Amino acid sequence: MPGSQARCRARDRNNVLNRPEFLSLNQTHRNREQAGVGEGRGGTAPRRTVFRQHSQQEDSGLRGSRDSSEGGSAAEGGAKEASRWPEQDCMQLNPSFRGIAINSLLAIDISLSKRMGMCVRPHGPGAPLRSMVTLLALTGHALPWLCGTLICLWRSNTLAGQEVLINLLLALILDLMTVAGMQKLVKRRGPWDFPPGFLDYIAMDTYSFPAAHASRAIMVSKFLLNHLVLAVPLRILLYLWAFLVSMSRVLLGKHHLSDVGCGFALGFLHFNLVESVWLDSATCQTILSIGTLCWTPLV
C-alpha cells in the first residue's frame, strides 16, 4: 500500500492535466480515480482525496486571480507607457522618401560645412588666413554698416543723398530684425557649435540659420548697384565682396552652407521689399525732422 500511494502521488504531480487550465477536463478523471482508491483503502481515503481536491481548486483559483491581476496591471502599465511617449519618439520602420532625402541633404550639408571650416582653430590648416578672413567677415557685420550709414546721413547735404541713405538705413534695420527673429525661431547651431562673440550679441546674430552676413551683403550690394553709378570693375568687385563675406563665415565655422544659401534668398527678398515701399524725398525729410527734433524741412 505505501508503494502504491507514492506512485499515485508521483503520477499526480507529473500529470499534465493537473494544471489549472485543464482542471475542468480533469475533474471526471479524478472522480473515477478517487472512487477506485477509496474502495481499496477504506473510509478515510475519500475524505483525504476530497480535501486534496478542494485545496487544489483553491490554489488554482488564487493562482488564476493573481495571474489576472498581474496581467491587468501589466496592461494598464503598458497603456500608460504608450500614452506617455509621443508618436515622434517611436521608431519609423517605413520612412518616406521625402524624409530620407531631407536627412541625407542635411548630413551632406553638415559634413561639407565642417570640412570647409579651415579657419576655425588658431593652429588649423587655415591659420595663416584666419586674421584676413576675420577682417573680411567684419566688413559684413551690422554695426559698421549702421554706424557708417548714420555718419553719412549726418554729413549729407543733398536731398537725393538723404533719400537714398534713409531708405538704406530702413533696409538695414529690416534685415537685422527679420534675421534675428528667424534665428530665435529656428535656433540652429553652427557646424562647430562655438559660442557667439561680443559683436554677435550686439547684432543679435547668436544662431546659425539664416546667415545674417550673407543676407546683409547681398541686400547692400544690390542696393548700391541699383542706386549708384559704378563702373563695371567696381560692380564685379561688389558682387565678389558679397560672396566672400558670406563664405568667410563658413570658413570660420559659424554657418552651414545651407544657412548662406537661405541668407542669399532673404537678402534678395529684403531688397525687393524696400524697393517696393520706397520712401520719397518728402517722407524722408519728415523722418529727418522728427529724428533731429528740428520741425523745419532740411534744404
Q: Which residues are catalytic?
A: 213, 255
The 3-state secondary structure of the chain, one letter per residue: CHHHHHHHHHHHHHCHHHCHHHHHHHHHHHHHHHHHHHHHHCCHHHHHHHHHHHHHHHHHHHHHHHHHHHHHHHHHHHHHHHHHCCHHHCCCCCCCHHHHHHHHHHHHHHHHHHHHCCCCCCCCCCHHHHHHHHHHHHCCCHHHHHHHHHHHHHHCCCHHHHHHHHHHHHHHHHHHHHHHHHHHHHCCCCCCCCCCCHHHHHCCCCCCCCCHHHHHHHHHHHHHHHHCCCCHHHHHHHHHHHHHHHHHHHHCCCCCHHHHHHHHHHHHHHHHHHHHCCCCHHHHHHHHHHHCCCCCCCC
| Peptide bond just before 210 cis, omega within 30 deg | yes
Check if the beta carbon of residue 217 is closer than 8 Å to that of residue 140.
yes
Check if the beta carbon of residue 267 is closer than 8 Å to that of residue 219.
yes
